[in-house]
Amino acid sequence: MTDKTLPRYRTGRNWVVLGDLVKCTPRVGTSFLGEVTRIDADDEGNPTSVHVTTRMKMNGERHRHAGVSRAFTTDRLARVSRTRGNKLLSD
């Protein structure tokens, strides 16, 4: 089994692509916003893990662990609209 990387994956009606802002919900701790840096997939092309770089808290303030990379399964992520994400990243 060799791992592949994907440029994007589908969640419902939306696509999550590299560089998108996503809401991360860890099993322990509070949710935060992060930027997708890598999407790993199995041989069939199904996403297995998504690597996210921590950016900010849900209220838009800088996260104390900003810049830290973490890996999540796809059920722990939710895409943030590009208009909201661009507004938060530009501030």
Instruction: Classify the C-alpha dihedral 79-81-85-86 as positive or negative.
Output: positive
Which CATH number does the domain housing residue 51 bear?
2.30.30.490
Tell whether pTM > 0.95. Answer: no
* pLDDT band at 4; cut points 50, 70, 90: confident
Q: What is the pLDDT of residues 13-59, one digit of tens each?
A: 889 999 989 999 999 989 999 999 999 999 888 999 999 999 888 88
Please give the residue that has the higher pLDDT: either 28 or 11: 28
Dihedral over Cα of 21, 79, 53, 27: its sign: positive
Q: Work out how many domains the chain is built from and give that number.
A: 1
Residue range of the domain that includes 26 = 4-90
Question: What's the pLDDT tens digit per position in 36-48?
Answer: 999 999 988 899 9
